[in-house]
Amino acid sequence: MKRESSATVNESPRPYVQASPPRPHQVIVIDCRGLEFIEFKAEGEWTAKGFESVTKFAGIDLQEGEWYDYDEKTSEEVSIKDIKWAIKRA
């Protein structure tokens, strides 16, 4: 008997919307058959939009778990930090 495994993205990834206080947000739904995800790594380039200025930031690397830049429109530092990823069964 041949065993097969597959993973399919069921819904397009959803953007995280900033909230105060920060709260968990479902980003992506993946249908797994014959396998189980145990870890998520934020590889690749991410994008973000300034909360107050809507300045667009591209090429964000989240592999280290944080990112810092400067928003010229608000004259303030912007950041993404204290990221936590959780994998949950539906």
Domain span at residue 69? 6-80
CA distance 3 to 25: 33
Entry field: residues in the chain: 90
Q: Give the chain's domain count.
A: 1
Reference 57, options 36, 72, 75; nearest CA is 72
Does a structural domain hold residue 89? no
* 3-class secondary-structure state, position 49: strand
Domain assignment present for residue 73? The answer is: yes
Contact 61, 45 (CB under 8 A): yes
Q: pLDDT, tens digit, for every residue of 44-66?
A: 899 999 888 889 999 999 988 89
pLDDT surpassing 80 at residue 30? yes
Task: Let me know if residue 87 belongs to a domain.
Answer: no
Instruction: Identify whether 88 is part of a domain.
Output: no
What percent of the chain stands above pLDDT 90? 31
62 within domain boundaries: yes
Q: Residue 33 corresponds to which amino acid? A: R
pLDDT at 2 over 80: no
How large is the average pLDDT for residues 26-31? 88
